[in-house]
Structure 1
Amino acid sequence: MKRVFWLGVGLALAWVAQMVARGAGPPASDGCPRPEAGSVAGAPALLRSRNGKLEATFVLRNAGSERFCLLYNGAVQSPTLWVAPGDKVVLRIHNALDRTAILPGAHQHPAGRLRNPCSGASADTSLLRTNLHYHGLNIPPTCHGDDVLGTTIADGATFEYRFQIPANEPPGLYWYHPHPHGLSEPQVLGGASGALVVRGIEQINPAVRGLPEQILILRDLAPKTEASAQGPRLCPDQDGSTRPAKDVSLNYVPVVYGDKRLAQIPLKANQRQFWRVLNAAADTYFDLQLRYDGEPQPLEVVAVDGVPTRKDDLGRAYPVTLRATHVLLPPAGRAEFIVRGPTSPVREAKLLTLAYDSGPDGDCDPERDLARIVVAAKQKLPALPVVGAAERPVRSMRFSRISVVQPVRTRRLYFSENNDKGEFYITEDRPGVEPKLFDPFFSQPNITVQQGSVEDWIVENRSRESHAFHIHQIHFQVLERDGKPTGDATQLRDTVDVPFWDGKATAYPRVKLRMDFRDPEIRGTFVYHCHILEHEDGGMMGTIEVARPNTVGARRP
């Protein structure tokens, strides 16, 4: 597998050199070259662990305020981190942002004292700070681990993350991205994100063994043109929606509204491939569909949000392959599925997103084409890793048997907004608690739970736009939607969409979630929030402390 890794990095370096030579993007000194519209959506470079360890240095750079990138070895943008359960990870992040990264009118928090500042990090509140979140991984929320509350990296500083992938981490697709409150949206919108794969899924579901594998990362982009007040609406309940709220990209290939040049995905005729798809957009929903000559094609889903689909959660592998014709990915969502290439009579093959109605106050996410599927001869296909090559056996996965554990309590939380002020809130619904913006210098967490417990949370949406609930450190089960049992309650997720309220119904849209706080490794304080990053930056985030057993009695529940 060493050969595949260096081939991936070599291709990426060659692509950067070609971009500069052709004048197709900014010079290397700009830090963030990107491919042209209509290009092949080339696979990200692979950075593999070796002998149980992955160690690397990344530099965060910007090209103005629109493009941000994490560069490995100074040239390779956002490689896929390829690790195994039990591996140690050491990542050094150097913040090389300059003042052109600052957006006009950007909000700056006043100085304050962090509750648990991380040694070696900065409590800086400048508009050039950053950090990194390892989305979906179930690792400790501690200093030099997956901490976004006490860790900020000042411009010009270097910080080292050190953590271990749990031995029972579910094998699947995760990702990494900046998470400095107030600045998350521009840095992620600018492209500073990448995939992380915990290998071994073929040990759970043999259907993927031996299949060529594609990693496809969807991102969104600030549009170059504003929506016009004139023209037909793309989103019927939204005034002025004459174009999508954001343009998008696929593996950095831009897909711009009105430009017919789509990204290209090569596939052999009738070839089965394993696609790992990440929605790394800051604010955009994707409802993915593969369509051949107008006909939706079956997608064989084998994992959601990094967790393989299984018959139950009772500790047995028993894989289940779910057949679907479209897959909804809220911001930060992931899906892994098997596709089959078109046969020779097919004239038009494409990957698209269906329209997603985010409500009258939401963004316009209309149906649009993303990529053309190009039937390619074998010698023209990009080199892909093959699932199942030299992988370690997978032990039992965490979160098992959560469905049969009695929850200790049920909490109710709700999303709300103040549109006049442009403020966003997530609030626990209990006496004496009013909606308020997230405070990075909080003295007490919003919620305290006991490690070892399981709770049910009902999350309501009391606003007229959709939200995407996400919590760090754990996964959860979606038991109900609007009071009705879901058909996939045993499936684990870390992000879930909560549709908008129409302003008329007497009951708010809601989901009921089974939350698993049993793992001792997650003790500490971390966050839950809407993963539409405009909302998170705007205050829609809360804090939760997982305390040692039998220490919650003196704390606020």
Structure 2
Amino acid sequence: MAASPALAQVDARIVDNPPEATLRTAPEEPTVALPHAGFDATRKPAPTERGVGAEVFYDLAIRYQDGTIFNPSTGTDDPVRLRSYVGAATGGSPQFAAPTVRILPGETFRLTLRNELPADDPTCPGAGGVNVPHCFNRTNMHTHGLHISPTGNSDNVLVSVSPGVSFQYEYNIPPDHPAGTFWYHSHLHGSTALQVSSGMAGALIIEGGRIPALAPDGGYVTGDVDVVLRKPGGEPFRDRVMLFQQIAYACRDGAGAIKAATTGAWYCDAGDVGEVEGYDQLTPTSWSASGRFTSINGEVMPTLARAVAGEVERWRLIHGGVRDSIKLRFRKMEPAGKTVVAARLATADARQAFVDQRCTGAPLPALGLAADGLTRGALDERSDTILQPGYREDLLVRFPEPGVYCVINGELQTDQAVNNEPHGRELLGYVRVDEGTAPPSAGDSILGALIASAEANLPDDVGARVVADLQDGMRLAAFARHPDVAAEEVTGRQTLGFRIFNGSLPPAPPAFRFEIGELGRDLAGNLALMNSAPYDPVRMDRTLVLGAVDEWTMTSFAANHPFHIHVNPFQIIEVLDPTGTDVSGPGNPNVSQYANLKGVWKDTLMVEQGHVIKVRTRYERYIGDFVLHCHILDHEDQGMMQNVRIAIPDGTGGAAVAHH
């Protein structure tokens, strides 16, 4: 095993935003496919202007990529070979952080996905059924969180793109689509977790410039919060894209077993190359035992590109990982100005001791701006932000003074963590903050910057109302595009329960089943799981009706599971803990991860075992077949997924499911 001093070194690995995808505004080939009278073979389509009605084009290849990942346990760079997204891009880190795609509302995004992975795939076809991971080199694409069609060549995760095949997706972004932070990742059942754990994920941002207006009823014609994330002169606040991943690479011995020390930590010998090639790398305890580290924009323990003291920044946080929960916080490093610190970070205790000894400043407050890409009804002040797999959070951050700040993954209780294991504090990276041209005053604040922006950048009548809202509970009514779902709107109800159980009897080895079912009551009146089953690709589990409004009740009977449903987001109504107390209202997220989530719109939500969660959703605009599932993606690959259909109403209160 490699042994050398381990350094957690400021400025050793500087990381900016991921690379920006270079989109084309015209296809590469002529739009006329076949020669005919008057055909001009030299004609090329003219580029179009960006915006509503425009088409933008991008080619994204999937291939193995060689590189290195820093290992703080040894202080060395581990060679790795991983399945990766590769496309034309500018700036950013070139390794294992897929290009960031930026789209405008009303545009059509034509993505050509080119599967250049080897056709010789020993895992395909799979043996043991559809819910045994298989076909690791087949793939498809999911635009996580977008409200677009799930059918045809749009956000259709029921198609398969084999090695050697190129497939063009056509994502028609509606003109009224909310601006916000979304992401894209592979989503073929049987290979999803393995590919995402290799780093096959990237940011997908809908950019907004729509200015709100006053409506005749006294409310707003809502706009995009982006228009007030500007300085009074119109210059945008700094926009940071932060893609968090857990790349679970491992090296194997001659028998195919993962090389692991007696402590359980994985290691690679000289000449080894780390890979992600098996689901034994994605077990409930593998990540914590492995000693691997969460990366930011493709780098482990980086220093983020410099900030300026006193300036407000927008941080777009994307949890693109599979096997760890993150509690993000910032603390200033002491003593101020220290540039290099050494520590052995091979154990969890050592990592926590490092943070406790070096990152001793007070927790830095931030304001929560959006959840899962959707602007909140009001800013949420916090010093900790919990990210579960699939989550996005947009924060407004302001570093009050120069120095080095630690980016920390804080302590989590067992019942808050995706692996049902507690974890202590550890370092994710650093931010170096420079002194600005004018030192910030004690009275400066994020809220003050937003008020100044609204006064300078909005029309007078709208600006005055927005300022009044900000001064009254930091409300963002002018920018929250989804109205509350009132109880009287509800037209139907859905229930859902997650379960993992051992389907075999001794002395047979365990055969765990990953299932989703409905909720009922047992003879004692307690919630019970009914009609549960693993995923079946030919079974339609739920048929919903376009235009309906459902209230969903969800719980978990074994472990914690992030619930994700495609197409339509949902609003959180209440979260009852095992004592029956609603923990979604104002509160401390260190006590409950659901604190301050009442009324918030999301598309992914952790369902803690024993908690009962109620959400409401509207089925709007789109019909078609798609899925819901657990966003611990190895759970999804092993059966914790259901097929969902939104159908046209039949005129009698049901769904029209026939073709005649």
- TM-score, normalised relative to structure 1: 0.74
Name the larger-Rg structure. Answer: 2
**Which residue in 2 is equivalent to 1:85?**
105
1:448 to partner: Cα distance? 1.0
CA separation in 1, counterparts of 2:312 and 2:89?
35
1:230·1:242 contact (CA, 8 Å) conserved in 2?
no
Equivalence for 1:544? 644
| Deviation for aligned residue 1:404 | 5.5
Structure 1 position 375, deviation (Å): 2.5
Cα separation, 2, equivalents of 1:229 and 1:202: 55
Deviation at 1:453, TM superposition (A): 0.6
The answer on 1:469 being equivalent to 2:563 is: yes
| Deviation digits for residues 99-138 of structure 1 (CA, Å, limit 9, x no counterpart) | 68767x99557589xxxxxxxxxxxx84421000000001
Does structure 1 retain, via aligned residues, the 8 Å contact 2:153–2:169? yes
1:515 paired with 2:536, answer no
Match of 1:495 in 2: 604
Counterpart-to-counterpart distance in 2, 1:277 and 1:55: 25
1:127–1:46: structure 2 CA closer, same or farther, 3 Å change rule? closer
Aligned pair in 2 of structure 1 residues 37, 266: CA closer, same or farther (>3 Å)?
Answer: closer
Partners of 1:168 and 1:396 within 8 A in 2? no
Residues paired across the two proteins, number: 463
Task: Determine if contact 2:300/2:429 at 8 Å carries over to the other structure.
Answer: no
2:179 pairs with 154, 171, 180, which one? Answer: 171
Name the structure 2 match of 1:504.
none
Matched, 1:268 2:308: yes
Q: Deviations over 1:340-392 (max 9, x none)?
A: 12513x5x51111113345596356543110111134789xxxxxxx99x99x
Q: What pairs with 1:139-154 in structure 2 (closer than 5 Å)?
A: 139-149=148-158, 151-154=159-162
Q: In the TM superposition, what are the counterparts of 1:23-422 in structure 2 within 5 Å?
A: 38-47=12-21, 50-51=49-50, 52-63=54-65, 67-73=82-88, 78-98=98-118, 108=127, 126-149=135-158, 151-200=159-208, 203=211, 204-205=224-225, 206-209=227-230, 210-222=236-248, 224=250, 226=260, 228-229=262-263, 243=289, 246-255=292-301, 262-292=302-332, 293-310=360-377, 320-344=378-402, 346=403, 348-359=404-415, 362=420, 365-376=423-434, 399-403=482-486, 405-419=488-502, 420-422=510-512
State the shift of 1:147 in Å: 0.7
- The alpha carbon displacement at 1:445 in A equals 1.1
Q: Distance in 2 between matches of 1:457 and 1:173?
A: 25
The one of 532, 536, 550 aligned to 1:435: 532
CA contact (8 A) 1:245 1:364 kept: no
Q: Match of 1:299, as an amino acid? A: A
Residues 554 and 215 (structure 1), Cα distance of their counterparts in 2 relative to 1, 3 Å cut: closer
- 2:624 aligned residue: 524
Work out whether residues 408 and 426 of structure 2, in 8 Å CA contact, stay in contact via their aligned partners in 1: yes
Inter-partner Cα distance in structure 2 for 1:138 and 1:355:
34
Q: How far apart in 1 are the matches of 2:639 and 2:429?
A: 35
Deviations 1:49-86 (A, max 9, x none): 75233211110112489622111139966211111111
User: CA 1:267–1:243 in 2, change beyond 3 Å: closer, same or farther?
Assistant: farther
- Paired position in structure 1 for 2:515: 425
The aligned amino acid for 1:423 is R
1:288-328 residue CA offsets vs partner (Å, 9 max, x unmatched)? 11112331111111111010112xxxxxxxxx222111111
Sequence identity (%) = 24
| Alignment gaps of 5+ in structure 2 | 1-9, 26-48, 67-79, 212-223, 231-235, 251-258, 266-283, 333-359, 438-452, 463-476, 503-509, 522-528, 586-596
Moved more, 268-277 or 179-188: 268-277
Aligned-pair CA distance for 1:409: 2.4
- Any conservation in 1 of the 2:375–2:480 contact (CA below 8 Å)? no
Which secondary structure state, in structure 2, belongs to the residue aligned with residue 296 of structure 1?
Answer: coil
Residues of 2 paired with 1:166 and 1:227: CA distance?
A: 52
Q: Secondary structure at the match of 2:193?
A: helix
Distance 2:306 2:614 in 1: 40
SS in structure 2 at match of 1:536: helix
Shift of 1:271: 2.8
Letter in 1 for 2:82: R
SS at 1:273 equivalent: strand
The verdict on how the C-alpha distance between 1:37 and 1:511 changes in structure 2, with shifts beyond 3 A counting, is farther
RMSD: 3.6
State whether residues 220 and 282 of structure 1, in contact with CA within 8 Å, keep that contact through their aligned partners in structure 2: yes
Deviation of residue 195 (structure 1)?
0.4
Closer, same or farther in 2 for the Cα pair 1:154/1:80, shift >3 Å? same
- For residues 457-512 of structure 1, what are the alpha-carbon distances to aligned partners after superposition, in whole Å with 9 as ceiling and x for unaligned? 1110100x211000000100111111526334332100011123xxxxxxx21211
Shift of 1:265: 4.1
- Cα deviations across residues 257-294 of structure 1 (Å, max 9, x unaligned)? xxxxx444421233321111111112221111111233
- Verify the 8 A CA contact 1:416 1:426 in the aligned structure 2: yes
CA apart distance, 1:39: 1.1
Instruction: Encode CA deviations 1:126-179: one digit per residue, 9 max, x unaligned.
Output: 442100000000101111000112x11011000010121111211110000000
Relative to structure 1, the CA distance from residue 454 to residue 109 in structure 2 (aligned partners, 3 Å threshold; closer, same or farther) is farther
1:18 counterpart residue number: none
Distance change (3 Å), C-alpha of 1:164 and 1:433: same
Cα distance in 1 for residues equivalent to 2:387 and 2:411: 12
State the TM-score, normalized to the length of structure 2: 0.63
Give the alignment partner of residue 542 of structure 2, picking from 447, 451, 454.
447
Q: Judging changes above 3 Å, is the alpha-carbon distance between structure 1 residues 330 and 108 closer, same or farther for their aligned structure 2 residues?
A: farther
The separation in 1 between residues aligned to 2:422 and 2:210, in whole angstroms, is: 38
Q: Is the 8 A contact 1:217 1:251 kept in 2?
A: yes
